[in-house]
């Protein structure tokens, strides 16, 4: 192929610059050092027999552990869904003109952010002590009413033993979801405050109600600020599900892995298996976050199209993912 | 909707309207009448309360004293047995449906395309059938000369185009009155003309308009009346020709000598 710039010189365009690029010897030293360390690490993984890789492979996918994975996923998803929805309610209450609503929301966030999740989990697990029985769907004056009509009405549609309702999965889920709502409330509030007040005015001037404005105009725009820290929260939640072992919820992933480990005297390999499971699950969450962020970037001009921004959206390198660390201020 | 008989042909009637922000009294007794089909231009120095008055007309601000009627209805209140009752949020929203507003900074919804911006309120608020809203919105886009921009997001449009979409968005609610708050002030000079042209067409179609503007050429050509505000009161009012060429009040003269 001929070099066009030489054969047909363009009078207006000077010759392309051919300069010696800056050398980065330091980078090459760093690469060598890292390569050596990595090789040592891999060597240790392979040769140290305490890892017992075949044991990990044989046991990390046992039915009870797969069940534990599903429990962990279910807890994460449900706790986050409840947490986000309740968090939005709390954020709106907090921003309301009504001092009682905003005071209640403040009090709630104060309490649930102050108490550690581990303590909450144990607390909710023992809540059954407070009430022997819950009556759901109770009809007041059912007794006299029943007498009047000549039938015997129990007054309750169904009665649940408190220890059944508030133990195990439900207690763990409540502890996680209620605590999450407190953090999400702060994240959502920051998101709502980030939206230009002119947007609310424009919607109001069009005759849109407050609720419609919030749902259609404010929240979708707030999402761009809300999603990155919510991704962090979801990942933190995935890991915090291991706390429900203290409720106790025994069919949860980490509990199951540890049980296998201690039963077979292979504690360390099962801890490695736990790391692997959490890495896999977190990777799926990161991928999900990427697509959700792209959806809510609509109209913002900056669509993550190329690979660099895609990687950044996945949490690699600097960028959104790290913002709002422990749940905003 | 009230008939012209009930309202005496008046779209807006303001009587001694007062408004304060804390201790700052911004409107100090505004008396004004805008007839149906009239185009009223409002001029005045910065801080004279023009935007505030406009925002009072559709109850984005609550007035402290006086009375304000739009289309025969008291704005923001219901009068019954000699007492005023504040309207609920829902009732205020219903009142605003008949009043379109165009902002200096456009305030388009950035997460929606031009077409979605226009369709949002008629579809969600008036609950009109989607297909009907869609074809009417496309017609509005054509009316403001932006048929080819239906699928564009606001960030992909120039300022002039955004403002024309904003006008179409307000028109989609079929308002009886349009309020413009310095609609061309945020625009590059070469984009001002296209927005003014759309507004001029709207005026020719008979829309009642209150326009806060610094475009004296527009006021002279399109306006039926011109109001000069200063210090929260109406200082002078008349036909644009009279006020612009023979201002009676020294403050009007002073202001016009600076802007003309
Ligand atoms: N929400 C508010 N809170 C406090 N003060 C306000 C508020 N809105 C307006 N003001 C004050 O009221 C006065 C009048 O404001 P307004 O925006 O009505 O003036 P304007 O005539 O529109 O001026 P401009 O030509 O600069 O737009 C100004 O001094 C302004 O600072
Ligand atoms: Mg103004």
CA nearest A186: which of A215, A236, A229? A229
Mean pLDDT, range B56-60, rounded to an integer: 94
Are B98 and B89 contacting, i.e. CB atoms less than 8 angstroms apart? no
The Cα B231–Cα A184 span in angstroms is: 46
ipTM above 0.95, yes or no: no
Query: Assign residue A261 a region: left if phi > 0, alpha if psi is -120 to 50, beta otherwise?
Result: alpha
Cα–Cα distance, A307 to A323 (Å, whole number): 21
The confidence score (pLDDT) of residue A214 equals 95
User: Which of A191, A197, A200, A207 to probe the B interface (max B CBs under 10 A)?
Assistant: A207
B62/B71 Cα distance (integer angstroms): 18
Q: Is the pLDDT of residue B4 over 50?
A: no
- What residues form DSSP beta bridges with B78? B85
Domains in chain A: ranges and CATH: 52-297+307-313 (1.10.3720.10)
pLDDT of A321: 37
Largest CA distance in chain A: 109
Q: Which residue(s) pair with B35 in the sheet? A: B10
d(CA B200, CA A309): 45
pLDDT at B96 over 50: yes
Is it the case that residue B3 has pLDDT exceeding 60? no
Delineate the domains of chain B, giving CATH numbers in brackets: 10-257 (3.40.50.300)
Ligand 1 atom 17 nearest Cα: B51
Predicted local confidence at residue A305, as pLDDT: 44
Asked if B100 reaches chain A (Cβ–Cβ under 8 Å), the answer is: yes
Q: Look at ligand 1, atom 18, and give the residue with the nearest C-alpha.
A: B49
In A119-196 the beta strands, taken as DSSP E runs, fall at 133-136, 158-161
Question: Is there a contact between B110 and B44 (Cβ–Cβ < 8 Å)?
Answer: no
Of B255 and A326, the one with more pLDDT: B255
Peptide bond before A248: cis, by omega within 30 degrees of 0? Answer: yes
pLDDT in tens, B169-197: 999 999 999 999 999 999 999 999 999 99
C-alpha B216: how far from its chain's center?
17
Q: Which helix (H) or strand (E) holds A114?
A: helix A99-114
Retrieve residue B239's tokens: 């036909």
Closest chain A residue by Cα to residue B174: A206
Classify each residue of B226-238 as buried b or exposed e, where b means 16 or more C-beta atoms within 10 Å of its C-beta.
Answer: bbbbbebebbbbb
Structure tokens at B56: 């009072």
pLDDT at position A7: 54
Question: Which of B58, B76, B93, B137 to probe the A interface (max A CBs under 10 A)?
Answer: B93
Q: Report the nearest-CA residue for atom 16 of ligand 1.
A: B49
Each residue of B141-166: pLDDT tens digit?
999 999 999 999 999 999 999 999 99
By percentage, how much of chain B surpasses pLDDT 70? 97
Q: Residue A134 has what pLDDT?
A: 52
User: CB distance A207–B111 less than 8 Å?
Assistant: no
**DSSP 8-state secondary structure symbol assigned to residue A216:** I
Sign of CA dihedral B68, B71, B72, B73: negative
Q: Which two tokens stand for residue B189?
A: 């000079």
Does B107 contact chain A (CB < 8 Å)?
A: yes
β B83-86/B77-80 pair status: antiparallel
3-state secondary structure B62-122: CCCEEEEEECCEECCEEEECCEEEECCHHHHHHHHCCEEEECCCCCCCCCCCHHHHHHHHH
What's the confidence (pLDDT) of residue A164?
A: 57
- From the list A196, A207, A221, the residue facing B94 with the nearest CB is A207
- B42 CA to middle of ligand 2, Å? 11
H or E segment at B234? strand B233-238
Q: Does B113 touch chain A (CB under 8 A)?
A: yes
> B208 is written with which tokens?
């009642």
Contact (Cβ atoms closer than 8 angstroms) between residue B111 and residue A220: yes
d(CA A167, CA A126): 8
Residue (of B218, B137, B213) closest to B174 by Cα position: B137
Rg of chain A over CA atoms, in angstroms? 28
In angstroms, the CA B4 to CA B251 distance is 35
Q: Where are the alpha helices (DSSP H) in chain B?
A: 4-7, 50-57, 89-96, 114-124, 130-143, 159-171, 189-204, 216-222, 240-245, 250-259
What spatial distance separates the first Cα and last Cα of chain A, rounded to whole Å? 61
Among B95, B112, B125, whose Cβ lies nearest the Cβ of A206?
B125
Is residue A107 classed as helix, strand or coil in its secondary structure? Answer: helix
Query: Within chain A, which residues score under 50 in pLDDT?
Result: 1-2, 4-5, 143, 146, 150-158, 302-310, 316-329
């Amino acid at each position: 192929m001929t070099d066009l710039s030489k054969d047909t010189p363009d009078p207006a365009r000077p010759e392309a610059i051919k300069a010696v690029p800056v050398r980065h010897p330091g980078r090459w030293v760093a690469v060598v050092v890292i390569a050596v360390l990595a090789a040592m690490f891999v060597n240790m993984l392979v040769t140290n027999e305490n890892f017992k890789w075949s044991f990990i492979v044989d046991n990390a996918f046992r039915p009870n552990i797969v069940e534990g994975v599903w429990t962990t996923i279910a807890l994460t998803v449900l706790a986050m869904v409840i947490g986000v929805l309740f968090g939005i309610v709390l954020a709106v209450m907090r921003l309301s003109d009504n001092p009682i609503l905003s005071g209640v929301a403040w009090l709630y966030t104060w309490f649930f952010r102050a108490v550690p999740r581990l303590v909450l989990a144990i607390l909710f697990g023992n809540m059954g002590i407070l009430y022997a029985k819950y009556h759901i769907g109770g009809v007041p004056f059912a007794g006299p009413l029943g007498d009047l009509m000549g039938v015997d009405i129990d007054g309750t549609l169904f009665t649940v033993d408190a220890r059944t309702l508030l133990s195990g999965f439900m207690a763990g889920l409540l502890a996680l979801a209620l605590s999450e709502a407190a953090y999400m409330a702060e994240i959502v509030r920051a998101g709502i405050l980030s939206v230009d007040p002119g947007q609310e005015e424009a919607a109001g001037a069009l005759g849109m109600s407050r609720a419609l404005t919030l749902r259609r105009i404010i929240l979708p725009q707030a999402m761009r600020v809300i999603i990155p820290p919510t991704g962090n929260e979801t990942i933190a939640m995935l890991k915090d599900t291991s706390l429900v072992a203290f409720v106790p919820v025994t069919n949860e992933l980490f509990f199951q892995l540890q049980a296998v480990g201690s039963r077979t005297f292979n504690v360390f390999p099962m801890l490695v298996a736990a790391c692997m499971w959490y890495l896999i699950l977190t990777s799926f969450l990161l991928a999900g976050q990427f697509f959700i962020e792209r959806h809510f970037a609509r109209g913002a001009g900056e669509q993550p199209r190329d690979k660099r921004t895609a990687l950044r959206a996945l949490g690699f390198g600097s960028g959104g993912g790290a913002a709002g660390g422990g749940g905003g201020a | 909707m009230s008939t012209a008989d009930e309202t005496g042909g008046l779209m807006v009637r303001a009587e001694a309207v007062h408004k304060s922000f804390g201790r700052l009294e911004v409107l100090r007794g505004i008396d004004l009448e805008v007839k149906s089909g009239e185009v009223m231009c409002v001029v005045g120095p910065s801080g004279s309360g023009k935007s505030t008055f406009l925002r009072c007309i559709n109850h984005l601000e609550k007035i402290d004293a006086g009375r304000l009627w739009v289309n025969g209805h008291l704005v923001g209140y219901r009068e019954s047995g000699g007492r005023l009752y504040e309207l609920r949020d829902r009732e205020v929203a219903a009142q605003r449906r008949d009043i379109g507003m165009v902002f200096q900074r456009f305030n388009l919804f950035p997460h929606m395309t031009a077409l979605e911006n226009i369709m949002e309120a008629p579809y969600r608020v008036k609950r009109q059938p989607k297909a009907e809203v869609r074809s009417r919105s496309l017609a509005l886009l054509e009316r403001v000369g932006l048929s080819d921009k239906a699928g564009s997001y606001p960030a992909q449009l120039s300022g002039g185009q955004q403002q024309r979409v904003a006008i179409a968005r307000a028109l989609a609610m079929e308002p009886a009155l349009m309020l413009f708050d310095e609609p061309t002030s945020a625009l590059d000079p070469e984009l001002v003309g296209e927005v003014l042209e759309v507004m001029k067409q709207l005026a020719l179609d008979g829309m009642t308009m209150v326009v806060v503007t610094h475009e004296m050429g527009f006021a002279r050509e399109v306006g039926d009346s011109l109001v000069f505000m200063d210090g929260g009161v109406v200082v002078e009012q008349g036909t644009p020709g009279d006020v612009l060429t023979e201002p009676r009040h020294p403050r009007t003269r002073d202001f016009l000598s600076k802007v003309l």
